[in-house]
């Protein structure tokens, strides 16, 4: 008897939506930004500062399920990674799960690339960064100011982020 392989869920629309959610948040934060052409290697969005003649490249990663366990990143050619946890629950669930895995509003984590480089496991051939390696990742939630500071040339992170970086090393 042949074992049937679990069919992978198609989340293309959701991942495109995540890019637009990040773009919308950047624009609301008064950060001029645009979406790149499809299949631009390494990044999905570009945030700009016309006054400072500067820009940053942003790669958007999204997780569909509420109980996400990490994300995969192979191309590190960006300045920031914004992880969007869409929190759409658990698809095709047959049993009851705790309340914390139900559908809820998305979360946005704005990670500077140096943080991503420090937490990734170079031994992982998939390029997956597991949630347990993401030390104090909650501190990066909605940190659009990190992008604003980089664009304005004031990209020195706050003291606690500098301290956090030292802890990771």
Helix or strand or coil: residue 109? strand
Band of pLDDT at residue 37, cut at 50, 70 and 90: confident
Name the percent of the chain lying above pLDDT 90.
60
DSSP 110: E
| Stretch 154-169: mean pLDDT | 60
Q: Does 125 reside within a domain?
A: yes
Residue 32 domain-assigned? yes
- Residue 58 covered by a domain: yes
Token pair in block for residue 67:
């109980």
Average pLDDT of the chain, as a whole number: 86
Nearest residue to 47 (alpha-carbon basis) of 67, 71, 30: 30
What CATH number has the domain bearing residue 38? 3.40.1350.10
The model's pTM: 0.82
What's the DSSP call for residue 158?
P
In a domain, 5, yes or no: no
More confident residue, 154 or 30: 30
Would 1 be classed as within a structural domain? no
Full domain range(s) for residue 125? 12-168
Note the pLDDT of residue 83: 97
- Residue 149 included in any domain: yes
Q: Read off φ and ψ for residue 54, nearest 5 degrees.
A: -130, 160
pLDDT at 90: 78
Count of structural domains within the chain: 1
Residue 7 counted as domain residue: no
Phi, psi of 46 (to 5 degrees): -125, 125
Output the six-digit token pair for 56: 């940053």
Tell me how crowded residue 43 is: count the other CB atoms within 10 A of its CB: 18
Q: Is residue 4 part of a domain?
A: no
Which residues partner with 58 through β-bridges?
A: 45, 80
Phi/psi for 165 (5° steps) reads -60, -40
Neighbouring residues of 161: CB distance < 8 A, sequence distance ≥ 6: 139, 146
So what's the pLDDT on residue 17?
93
Confidence of residue 154 (pLDDT cuts 50, 70, 90): confident
């Amino acid at each position: 008897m042949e074992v049937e392989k679990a069919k992978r869920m198609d989340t293309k629309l959701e991942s495109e939506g995540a890019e637009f959610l990040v773009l919308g948040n950047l624009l609301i934060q008064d950060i001029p930004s645009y979406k790149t052409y499809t299949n631009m290697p390494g990044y999905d969005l570009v945030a700009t500062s016309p006054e400072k003649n500067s820009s940053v490249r942003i790669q958007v990663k999204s997780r569909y399920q509420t109980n996400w366990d990490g994300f995969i990143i192979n191309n590190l050619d960006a300045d920031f990674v914004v992880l969007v946890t869409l929190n759409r629950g658990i698809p095709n669930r047959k049993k009851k799960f705790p309340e914390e895995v139900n559908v809820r509003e998305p979360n946005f984590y704005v990670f500077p690339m140096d943080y991503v480089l420090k937490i990734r496991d170079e031994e992982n051939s998939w390029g997956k960064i597991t949630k347990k390696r993401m030390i104090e990742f909650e501190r990066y939630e909605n940190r659009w100011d990190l992008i604003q500071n980089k664009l304005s040339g004031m990209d020195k992170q706050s003291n606690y982020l500098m301290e956090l970086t030292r802890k990771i090393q």
